[in-house]
Amino acid sequence: MIILRSDRRRLLLALGLLLLLHFTLRPRFGHPESAPDFLLLALLVFSIRSRPGAAAVMGFIVGVLGDSLTPARFGAGALAHTVVGYLTAWGRAVFFADNLMVNGAVFFAGTWLRNLIVLIASGGPGDGLMRQLLIWSPVQSLTTAISGAIFLSLFRRWLDIRLEE
């Protein structure tokens, strides 16, 4: 898919808005384990519209940025975001990416998979691993998917997608 210059600007503005939301709105949600992850959402929106290699590179950049801000072992987030970005871009060829429900499912699955990889790679809490994966990860995945669906509905013209209701 060839992205025109004006389309790139709009995509960059949308991704910049998600980055701004991550650092301004997300801390106001209270509990960080249930707040939507706008940084991951920006990666997923980018990955749906790009090739697997570019999505993996962007995932690595987002992961390193996230690793610099979290207490998890350095590299776990980079690995997780790289894998999620690559798989999301690859999955675009398999699934119809213009459907709002499919995008919501991608946002949910991407968030949960990222959390799983980070917990395993960082040697997360042993006895709290199941609680984290079965309670907090689905809650964060749901809030991220809902936020992503709202974002796509508001900015669908900027992102050049057709949302089938």
- pLDDT tens digits for range 71-98: 657 888 899 999 999 999 998 777 766 7
pLDDT at 131 over 90: no
* Cα dihedral sign, 159-85-107-15: negative
- Read off the pTM: 0.85
Give me the residues paired with residue 99 across strands. 164
The answer for residues whose C-beta is within 8 angstroms of residue 60's C-beta and 6 or more apart is 78, 81, 82, 85
Residue whose tokens read 């991704």: 15
Show me where the domains of the chain are located.
Answer: 5-154
Distance CA 155, CA 98 (A): 13
Q: What is the mean pLDDT of residues 93-114?
A: 86
Distance CA 66, CA 72 (A): 10
* DSSP conformation class of 130: H
Convert the pLDDT of each residue in 61-73 to its tens digit: 999 988 887 765 7
Query: Quick one: pLDDT at residue 120?
Result: 87
Query: Quick one: pLDDT at residue 6?
Result: 58
Residues 36/147, Cβ–Cβ less than 8 Å: yes
Convert the pLDDT of each residue in 18-65 to its tens digit: 888 888 887 788 777 788 999 999 999 999 888 999 999 999 999 998
Residue whose tokens read 């998890």: 72
Q: How far is CA 29 from CA 24, 35, 136, in A?
A: 10, 6, 14
Distance CA 70, CA 85 (A): 19
Give me the residues paired with residue 17 across strands. none
Query: Quick one: pLDDT at residue 130?
Result: 79
The answer for residues whose C-beta is within 8 angstroms of residue 49's C-beta and 6 or more apart is 1, 3, 11, 92, 97, 159
Band (105; pLDDT cuts 50, 70, 90): very high
Asked if CATH classification 1.10.760 holds for the domain at 5-154, the reply, yes or no, is no
